[in-house]
A = this chain, B = another copy of it.
Amino acid sequence: MKTYNVAIMGASGAVGQQMKDQLEKRNFPVKEIVFLASSRSAGQEIEFNGKTHLIQEAVPESFEGIDIALFSAGGSISEKFAPEAVKRGAVVIDNTSAFRMDKEVPLVVPEVNKKDLTLHNGIIANPNCSTIQMVCALQPLKEQYGLKKVVVSTYQAVSGAGLAAINELKAQAADFENAPNAEANVLPVKSAERHFPIAFNAIPQIDQFTDNGYTFEEMKMINETKKIMHDEHLAVAATCVRLPVVTGHSESVYVELAGAPTVDDVKKALADAPGVVLMDDPSNQVYPMPLMAAGKDEVFVGRIRQDLDNPNGFHLWIVADNLIKGAALNSVQIAESMIEQEII
């Protein structure tokens, strides 16, 4: 069996740690592995398959001999180092937004568009966490009934904003009475002018605002969904909201289909879809929630209802671990799919 030299860029971050875990858990055919980060994290120890590695400071030469480089260290790091890695023969699977909308770069969720991997030029982009879980649930509906319109409202966990955001939520949550005046330095966006407490709150801002009043996070969901699903004309709208949840993004999604299946048809399509778990039994209070989805690989879908006015309209509640399927697992699945398709 062929094995590969793998690098994880951003190994000390929340997603980087999950990437390592996924490679171990899925018995990925690793020959050698290198853990890379900025100089700040260099020297930290990391265990992989029972062996201790040291995180190394990334330099262009770090990618000599690497076959697959998993990047999750921020957009500017990807812009700087991904071309260096490609130059040295590596395939880069990049979890940042740096290359996602680049026409030369496939944006891939294997359950949806793994064939796009054949078109790569060295870099493959991993979509935004909230996009990935949504398209996994939309794809079977598109295939079977046609998809015309998507309106999504998100309920996003703080771990999407990194370990500092988790620590901030933890500190704020411990001081219930002081919630409105809690110290806040991280959310909604570290670099933003104003910061707001997240404990016992809901912040309708993820990432910075664009000129049209939508945030970058909302525009990512809109543009990435069209690109992954190969449909420029698909109507997509998003409102993205940060919640006091540690891990697990939830999404309330309204879709309008071309066809008008029964709600049981829709449930069956989702139950049969790869990577999706149907979790929908209201009479027994069975529906997905972030606390139960955290740590799991799958995309969970429940609360499936036909719209009461439009027979083509359906409502879904989609939950997944934003660090796993939303980031690390999808990156590793991209690599697995490239191996399976003999692209690498």
Q: Which residues of A contact B (CB under 8 A)?
A: 149, 151, 153, 155, 169-170, 173-174, 176, 179-180, 188, 192-194, 196-197, 199-205, 209, 212-214, 222, 235-237, 239, 241, 243-246, 250, 252, 254, 263, 282-285, 287-292, 294, 302-305, 307-310, 313, 315, 317
Q: Are A193 and B151 in contact (CB under 8 A)?
A: no
A288 / chain B contacts, CB cutoff of 8 Å: 204
Q: Are B200 and A245 in contact (CB under 8 A)?
A: yes
Q: Are B292 and A202 in contact (CB under 8 A)?
A: no
A203 to chain B, nearest CB (A): 6
What is the CA–CA distance of A244 and B273 in the complex, to the nearest angstrom? 31
Q: Are B289 and A212 in contact (CB under 8 A)?
A: no
A209-B285, A243-B243 given; name 20 further pairs at CB < 8 Å.
A151-B151, A153-B153, A173-B174, A173-B199, A173-B200, A179-B291, A200-B244, A201-B290, A201-B291, A202-B245, A204-B250, A204-B289, A204-B302, A204-B303, A209-B282, A212-B308, A214-B308, A235-B307, A237-B315, A239-B303
What is the CA–CA distance of A239 and B292 in the complex, to the nearest angstrom? 20
Closest 5 CB pairs of A and B: A235-B309, A153-B252, A153-B153, A209-B282, A201-B291
A197 / chain B contacts, CB cutoff of 8 Å: 291
Q: Which residue of B lies closest to A247 (CB)?
A: B200
What is the CA–CA distance of A78 and B209 in the complex, to the nearest angstrom? 47
How many copies of the shown chain assemble into the complex?
2
A193 / chain B contacts, CB cutoff of 8 Å: 284-285
What is the CA–CA distance of A236 and B307 in the complex, to the nearest angstrom? 9
A294 to chain B, nearest CB (A): 7
Q: Are B237 and A254 in contact (CB under 8 A)?
A: yes
Can you give 12 contacting A-B residue pairs, CB < 8 Å?
A153-B153, A170-B176, A173-B173, A173-B176, A196-B291, A201-B290, A202-B289, A202-B290, A205-B285, A235-B308, A236-B309, A237-B313
**Known contacts A239-B317, A252-B239, A252-B241: does B202 contact A287 (CB below 8 Å)?**
no
What is the CA–CA distance of A199 and B200 in the complex, to the nearest angstrom? 9
Q: Are B250 and A202 in contact (CB under 8 A)?
A: yes
Q: Are B237 and A289 in contact (CB under 8 A)?
A: no
A304 / chain B contacts, CB cutoff of 8 Å: 213
What is the CA–CA distance of A292 and B201 in the complex, to the nearest angstrom? 9
What is the CA–CA distance of A284 and B197 in the complex, to the nearest angstrom? 17
A170 to chain B, nearest CB (A): 5
Q: Which residue of B lies closest to A251 (CB)?
A: B153
Q: Are A204 and B294 in contact (CB under 8 A)?
A: no
Q: Are B254 and A254 in contact (CB under 8 A)?
A: yes
A166 to chain B, nearest CB (A): 10
A291 / chain B contacts, CB cutoff of 8 Å: 179-180, 196-197, 200-201
Choose from B155, B201, B283, B289 the contact partner of A196 (Cβ within 8 Å): B289
A313 to chain B, nearest CB (A): 7
A243 to chain B, nearest CB (A): 6
